[in-house]
Amino acid sequence: MRMGTSHVRAGHSGHVAGRQASEQDNVLLDVRNLSKHFPTNGKLLSQSHASVKAVQDVSLHIKPGEVVGLVGESGSGKTTLGRTILRLAEPTAGEIVFDGVDITRLSNQEMRAYRRRMQIIFQDPFASLNPRFVVSDLIGEALDLHKLARGKARQDRIVELLELTGLSPDHMYRYPHEFSGGQRQRIGIARALAVNPQFIVADEPVSALDVSIQAQVVNLLQDLKEKLGLTLLFIAHDLGVVEYISDRVVVMYLGHVVEVAPAKELYRNPVHPYTEALLSAVPIPDPTVRRKRITLRGEIPSPINPPSGCVFRTRCPIATPECTKVVPPLEKVSPGHFKACIRR
Amino acid sequence: MRRSVNGSMEAMTSLKRILEVSNLQTHFSTDNGVVKAVDGVSFHIDRGETLAVVGESGSGKSVTSLSIMRLLEAPHGRIVGGSILLEGEDLVRKTEAEMRRVRGNDISMIFQEPMTSLNPVYTVGEQIAESIRIHQGKTPQQAMKRAVEMLDLVGISEPARRAKTFPHQMSGGMRQRVMIAIALSCNPKLLIADEPTTALDVTIQAQILELMRDLQREIGMSILFITHDLGVVAEIADRVVVMYAGRAVEEGSVLDIFARPRMPYTAGLMNSIPRIDRAAERQERLLAIVGNVPSPFSLPQGCSFHPRCGYVQERCKAAVPPLEDSGDGHMVRCVRWNELDLRQQRKSA
């Protein structure tokens, strides 16, 4: 569904996104130098142009059928990045090339067709479902908005979606409060799938769920991915779940991508000191395992005044004066493995 | 009840025993009927020990801790049976005025969300000093001096300046440090920590767990640590109680429980977590526990876990299994614990 030649991607080659993406020519989503800044409420009549630099010059690509995990602490910008990619927040700068078309330039009207192809699953299945709608309305709403099915076909499609997500057709006329957290998240997934999307941003889809339910929903997402050929951006702070479901993992810190690698490679051989510290902080459910822990000093700085040079340097155990001067570029470590650190 | 009948033995145990909860029953009356949130729970904590109570939502772990603090909202939540002995004195029978002296002095508590526990209109120094003034009868000047010392103790840099800041000027991790400073300011014998790191990032969680371990070594208080995270349990606890639907289903030393889980629920929880240290041997699918956490209004007959259990038999549905000692104080509530080798399942799984 190309929207005209003017939007078709130009031949970038100079920057990192081009380099990363050029290793694989088959790309569904190519995010290039994307930034999202939020203006702060400055004092009245002040000249200040302070802004929260939530996402800063981020480039990444996702291949069709791939699951890319996005990890980082709260405040790293991972949720903002996910929402900006879907244009639920308007980007400040950069390009979002989806299936060959830069969607940042599309009008709202033109964007509609793309909204059907790109969906989102939210963290909190309690907050994201309208309590006054029954399940068939919650799921059917998406079908109505995009004029995908009516009457009997609509009904059949809803039943199909319920069965696909492990719910039962009996659930059609029940309200969200009648379901458990895990079932509600299944409804959220059914709703996202209703319009047959190609690409889904799953924003912390299991972190509000009980431990025994998380594995069910992760398994469901994996099955659906196989069955429907979905492409996923899986945002989570649980590094275990991300490792499990992802093909590749992107690590963010204070709005910047600091490391990208195939999942196994990243967990076995983290190169960036932040990735290393993050992984070492994950508690292992085995009291006999004793690991070397790299405890980070302090906390993530304010994105209004991020540190100069490398944004991680204020907490980095191996920072040098040089790190204050240079914004480290994403450099190749091995095929598919990139890091932004001048010390490693 | 696992207390010794032998008089001298009892005297010896009571010296090292800080808390002894026996057959605690806490019920809530709601429009839809009575919820037995805690249904006959027993455990003990020794001096300087950390006991983790682990469970999912609805397991009764938080209600257990609120019962110990006697912080249940009357008239809905009530302790209807059992005893809570703090150094031999039953907290269940204390008057509200007596309880007020216990809270803060003998037992203090920290919660999941430090922002909602701190008062937004007072500086953190004033809030720490307040509890010192009330419980230790210090002058405002002495109390503030001690508050600054406490901030230093919990690892906050520039404590004198930080004492003058408000909660909203601090990050989540810093606020939890302030909560710990308040909780420890009167040298309690027991600290109850209810999911203290759940709202924090892993890097900050690691800092707070390290702080709690260091402080325990320094001060020697006992800790009751409530959590849903088995990783955190492995890291901080000496012993574990696993709760499910209002009952303790397994109890033992942390090494024993993780090496030899005997209740299928505990083993199921351990299997369902993707582990970053075992990425190499990972499965195609996670071993999820089927079904949902049961509703407190319609608990299954017999063993509450039976509808989700892979080892269920007819007898599991008949009666609630007793909590039995499977050896070395490893308690398990499962009629089949003797015949199942859940460790085997973990390996081949």
What was the pLDDT predicted at A135? 95
pLDDT over 60 at A87, yes or no: yes
What's the gap in Å between the CA of A240 and the closest CA on chain B?
5
pLDDT over 60 at B287, yes or no: yes
pLDDT over 60 at B330, yes or no: yes
Chain A residue nearest residue B173, CA to CA: A299
pLDDT tens digits for range A210-250: 888 999 999 999 999 999 999 999 999 889 999 999 999 99
Cβ <8 Å between A214 and B230: no
pLDDT category, A58, cuts 50, 70, 90?
A: very high
Helix (H) or strand (E) holding B183: helix B172-184
Nearest by CB: B201 against A73, A182, A219: A73
- Max mean pLDDT among A139-143, B72-76, B241-245 falls in B241-245
Residues of B in Cβ contact (< 8 Å) with A293:
206
pLDDT category, B281, cuts 50, 70, 90?
A: low
Is B315's Cβ below 8 Å from some Cβ in A?
no
Cβ <8 Å between B173 and A299: yes
DSSP letter (8 states) at residue B327: S
Chain A interface, best mutation among B162, B203, B235, by max A CB count within 10 A? B203
DSSP per residue over B77-145, as a string? EEEEEEEEEETTEEGGG--HHHHHHHHHHTEEEE-S-HHHHS-TTS-HHHHHHHHHHHHH---HHHHHH
Chain B residue nearest residue A242, CA to CA: B274
Name residue, tokens 């991680």: A312
Is A344's Cβ below 8 Å from some Cβ in B?
no
Q: Where are the alpha helices (DSSP H) in A41-124?
A: 78-85, 108-117
Cβ <8 Å between A218 and B274: yes
Contacts of A230 by beta carbon, 8 Å cutoff, 6+ apart: A65, A197, A198, A199, A200, A224
Q: What is the mean pLDDT of the segment spanning B221-229? A: 96
Is B168's Cβ below 8 Å from some Cβ in A?
no
Name residue, tokens 């977590």: B273
pLDDT over 60 at B155, yes or no: yes
Cβ <8 Å between B269 and A212: yes
What was the pLDDT predicted at B191? 96
Chain A residue nearest residue B205, CA to CA: A281
Cβ <8 Å between A289 and B259: no
For A278, A298, B12, B30, the CA distances from A315, given in Å and listed in that order, are 12, 7, 49, 50
pLDDT over 80 at A49, yes or no: no
E strand intervals along chain A: 29-39, 51-62, 67-71, 93-98, 101-102, 118-121, 199-203, 231-235, 248-253, 256-262, 331-334, 337-339
pLDDT category, B6, cuts 50, 70, 90?
A: low
Cβ <8 Å between A244 and B282: yes
Is B174's Cβ below 8 Å from some Cβ in A?
yes
pLDDT over 80 at A15, yes or no: no
User: CB contacts < 8 Å between A and B, how many?
Assistant: 133
CA diameter of chain B: 67
Residue that wins the pLDDT comparison between B100 and A41: B100
What's the gap in Å between the CA of A102 and the closest CA on chain B?
34
Average pLDDT, rounded, for chain A: 89
Paired with B30 in beta bridges are B33
Q: What is the mean pLDDT of the segment spanning A64-88? A: 95
Nearest by CB: A182 against B206, B272, B292: B292
Is A180's Cβ below 8 Å from some Cβ in B?
yes
Cβ <8 Å between B272 and A215: yes
pLDDT over 50 at A18, yes or no: no
Cβ <8 Å between A293 and B206: yes
One-letter amino acid for residue B175 of the chain:
R
Nearest by CB: B231 against A267, A277, A285: A285
Nearest by CB: B235 against A214, A218, A283: A283
Residues of A in Cβ contact (< 8 Å) with B279:
243, 263-264, 267-268
Cβ <8 Å between A283 and B234: yes
Q: Which has the minimum average pLDDT: B12-26, B52-66, B209-223? A: B12-26
pLDDT over 80 at B255, yes or no: yes
pLDDT tens digits for range A95-108: 999 999 999 999 99
Euclidean distance between CA atoms A48 and A120, whole angstroms: 35
Contacts of B179 by beta carbon, 8 Å cutoff, 6+ apart: B110, B111, B114, B117, B118, B196
pLDDT over 60 at B54, yes or no: yes
Cβ <8 Å between B269 and A215: no
Nearest by CB: B288 against A180, A183, A216: A216
pLDDT over 90 at B346, yes or no: no
For chain B positions 108-127, those within 8 Å of chain A (CB to CB) are: none
Average pLDDT, rounded, for chain B: 90
Chain A residue nearest residue B269, CA to CA: A212
Paired with A107 in beta bridges are none
Cβ <8 Å between A288 and B259: yes
Residues of B in Cβ contact (< 8 Å) with A213:
288, 292-293
DSSP letter (8 states) at residue B309: -
For chain A positions 276-335, those within 8 Å of chain B (CB to CB) are: 277-289, 291, 293, 295-296, 299-300
For chain B positions 268-287, those within 8 Å of chain A (CB to CB) are: 268-270, 272-277, 279-280, 282, 285-287
What's the gap in Å between the CA of A1 and the closest CA on chain B?
35
pLDDT over 90 at A16, yes or no: no
pLDDT over 60 at A12, yes or no: no
Cβ <8 Å between B201 and A237: yes
What was the pLDDT predicted at B282? 60
Euclidean distance between CA atoms A6 and A59, whole angstroms: 21
Is A243's Cβ below 8 Å from some Cβ in B?
yes
Cross-sheet strand order for the sheet of B107-110: B107-110, B190-194, B222-227, B50-54, B239-244, B247-253, B331-332, B324-325
Q: Which has the minimum average pLDDT: A271-285, B5-19, B201-215? A: B5-19
pLDDT category, B75, cuts 50, 70, 90?
A: confident
Q: Which has the minimum average pLDDT: A34-48, A242-256, B33-47, B149-163? A: A34-48
For A68, A115, A191, B105, B200, the CA distances from A196, given in Å and listed in that order, are 19, 11, 10, 60, 36
Smallest Cα–Cα separation from B204: which of B174, B180, B182, B181? Answer: B174
Is the bond preceding A176 in cis, omega lying within 30 degrees of 0? Answer: no
pLDDT tens digits for range B177-193: 999 999 999 899 999 99
